[in-house]
Amino acid sequence: MTLDELARSTGEWLATGGPLSDVVISSRIRLARNVADQPFLSRASREQRTEIERTLFEAVAACNFGQSTFYIDVDKSDPLDRQLLVERHLISRQHADAEGSRGVAIASSETFALMINEEDHLRIQVMRRGLNLDEAWEETTRVDSALESLVDFAYHQRYGYLTACPTNVGTGLRVSVMLHLPALKLTGEMEKVFRAAKDMRLAVRGLFGEGTDALGDFFQVSNQVTLGENEEDILSAFKANVIPSVVKYEQEARRVLQKDQLAILDDKIWRAFGLLQNARTMSTEEALYLLSHLRMGVVLKRVQNVNLDAINELFLAIQSAHLQKRQGTKLDGEHRSILRAQLIRDCLARATTNKN
């Protein structure tokens, strides 16, 4: 798999058909690990960072994860390639913008990615479509066990796994679910989600995680504390309380819109559809905003001749690095806007025709 091929595909985690996929886009489980007897990256020298990467790269190469993987040397990658990986949620912005030895091993299906020398020495990240935390956890533990059989990770008998950020100490586990919440946004009721998250000690972030905006009405909900809690309790809380509550809020907001504000709802949906089908230039932010409304229209069956997979595909394809990788050249903002609008028109024309 090359990055050019990656830019023309849709990750398995973004495909439709997962549990509660009308609201839940994807589930992600992440483990933070550090190599024993090595300093955290904030205290590591350039030589130590290189040694840590070598140790973990060799361990990854020696493991049988049940599917093929490919490795990207992030330090030597072109900035456009780094941005592509960020857009696909395979590495973080922090990982892309850092300096020194670092890399990422990616499963060919994109169901997991192993970031080396991000904030911690190793970040194991597993993703699944829809609300599918059990399957994601199974693969996470399989990958973690395979690596731990070859590498000694920093562990304290009392505190658990030691991590660069104190909030990750203990299990090192972060559970994150990406949600599409356009109805709550339209009805001005997102405050419900923020209040519930605060009460349950959760974080609500934007499309690309910490410090980013909720583009396309996408929000990521994740746990904030791992110390003193075990993995099963964290996962159970998400499955039984956290996500069902947020999904219920969104579904109720959609019912209210259909019952009491149907004309306003349809106007939002069909204006979005019309602009997407006819605009000649479009920014990323506008495209995500309009695609969000169209996706809601398809899910609610207000629009019945558009393939939902095509909309999900566009959420990735319209991103800046994806556009440029597909085109095979770097483009300025004006040319990206033109190409983005053309890509959307062509994709929706095919999707509508195929659906019919």
Burial label, 100 (beta-carbon count in 10 A; 0-12, 13-18, 19+): middle
DSSP 8-state code for residue 2: -
Q: Where are the domains of the chain?
A: 3-250, 262-355
b vs e for 338-347, b when ≥16 Cβ sit within 10 Å of the residue's Cβ? ebbbebbbeb
Weakest-pLDDT range from 46-55, 150-159, 246-255, 345-354: 345-354
- CA atoms lying within 13 Å on the CB side of residue 291: 31
Question: Looking at the predicted structure, is the pLDDT value of residue 229 above 60?
Answer: yes
How many Å is the Cα radius of gyration of the chain?
21
User: Is CATH 3.10.20.340 what the domain over 3-250 is classified as, yes or no?
Assistant: no
User: Is CATH 1.20.120 what the domain over 262-355 is classified as, yes or no?
Assistant: yes
In this prediction, residues 59-80 reach a mean pLDDT of 93
Q: What per-residue confidence (pLDDT) applies to 190?
A: 85
What's the Cα-to-Cα distance from 152 to each of 55, 56, 147, 148, rounded to whole Å? 10, 10, 9, 6
Strand 103-107 with 218-223, pairing: unpaired
Q: Is 182 helix (H, G, I), strand (E, B) or coil?
A: helix
Q: Please give the mean pLDDT across all residues of the chain.
A: 90
Integer Cα distance of 28 and 45 in angstroms: 31
Work out the angle between the directed axes of helices 79-87 and 320-327 (0-180°, nearest 10). Answer: 120
Integer Cα distance of 314 and 318 in angstroms: 6
Integer Cα distance of 169 and 11 in angstroms: 30
Q: How confident is the model at residue 356 (pLDDT cuts 50, 70, 90)?
A: very low
Q: How confident is the model at residue 194 (pLDDT cuts 50, 70, 90)?
A: confident
CB 132 within 8 A of CB 15: no
CA dihedral of residues 291, 293, 298, 301 (deg, nearest 10): -170
In this prediction, residues 222-228 reach a mean pLDDT of 71
In this prediction, residues 323-332 reach a mean pLDDT of 92
Q: What per-residue confidence (pLDDT) applies to 101?
A: 97
Q: What per-residue confidence (pLDDT) applies to 14?
A: 79
Integer Cα distance of 211 and 199 in angstroms: 21
Integer Cα distance of 51 and 124 in angstroms: 19
CB 304 within 8 A of CB 271: no
Q: What per-residue confidence (pLDDT) applies to 214?
A: 61
CB 290 within 8 A of CB 311: no
Query: What are residue 55's phi and psi, to 5 degrees?
Result: -60, -45
Question: Looking at the predicted structure, is the pLDDT value of residue 208 above 70?
Answer: no
DSSP 8-state code for residue 330: -
CB 187 within 8 A of CB 253: yes
pLDDT, one tens digit per residue, over 248-285 is: 999 999 999 999 999 999 999 999 999 999 999 999 99
In this prediction, residues 79-84 reach a mean pLDDT of 95
CB 122 within 8 A of CB 40: no
pLDDT, one tens digit per residue, over 3-46 is: 888 888 877 777 888 888 999 999 999 999 999 999 999 999 99
177 strand-pairing partners? 27, 221
Strand order in the sheet with 69-73: 69-73, 103-107, 112-116, 122-129, 24-33, 173-180, 218-223, 202-205
Percent of the chain at pLDDT > 90 equals 67
